[in-house]
């Protein structure tokens, strides 16, 4: 994310590697953007909306509970028996925003994948993760990669990767 000095992900969205990711995504390759990766996906136009400073204007690092809203994506199928997941957020700019028409479209098309039980950052409609229209691109602010072992507080994040492997 190039240090988050300019809107998170804005500079990364212009890099050659991101252009290759965009091309691969448009060709059908599944893409997972976690935290700064979610910001890059929005800045690159692969997902709608933007990530702004947290409502508290402070960096937040803590475990959060998520409702798994859509279990019919390549990233969420392993959650069918687990409607709530625990993962960690660690960001200063995790406040998901979009205009009302976009939010209504995301809701109506079933593109909200994860929702905060209690949003830590002010995200519109408690959105923690969304997918594109194909379901093959997921952007999420919480870190499934930090919730891989029960010794770390939760193994729920492993289900994101298990889902993708099974797909």
Active-site residues: which are they? Answer: 35, 143
Nearest to 94 by CA among 124, 116, 123: 123
Residue pair 148/158 in contact (Cβ under 8 Å)? The answer is: yes
Residue pair 129/71 in contact (Cβ under 8 Å)? The answer is: no
Alpha-carbon distance of 141 to 122, in angstroms, equals: 12
Q: How many CB atoms lie within 10 A of CB 140?
A: 29
Query: Which residues touch 60 (CB under 8 Å, ≥6 apart)?
Result: 54, 89, 90, 91, 92, 94, 120, 121
Q: Identify the H or E element spanning 129.
A: strand 127-131
Query: Which residues touch 133 (CB under 8 Å, ≥6 apart)?
Result: 109, 111
């Amino acid at each position: 994310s190039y240090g988050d000095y300019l809107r998170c992900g804005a500079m990364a969205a212009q890099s050659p590697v991101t252009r290759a990711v965009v091309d691969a995504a448009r060709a059908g390759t599944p893409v997972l953007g976690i935290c700064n990766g979610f910001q890059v996906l929005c800045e690159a136009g692969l997902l709608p909306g933007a990530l702004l400073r947290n409502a508290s204007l402070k960096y937040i690092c803590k475990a959060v509970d998520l409702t798994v809203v859509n279990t019919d994506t390549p990233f969420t199928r392993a959650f069918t028996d687990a409607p709530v997941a625990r993962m960690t957020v660690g960001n200063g700019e995790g406040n998901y925003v979009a205009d009302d028409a976009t939010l209504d479209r995301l809701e109506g098309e079933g593109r909200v994948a994860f929702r905060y039980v209690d949003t830590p950052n002010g995200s519109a409609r408690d959105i923690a993760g969304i997918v594109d229209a194909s379901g093959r691109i997921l952007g999420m602010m919480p870190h499934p990669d930090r919730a891989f072992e029960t010794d770390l507080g939760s193994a729920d994040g492993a289900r994101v990767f298990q889902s993708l492997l099974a797909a």
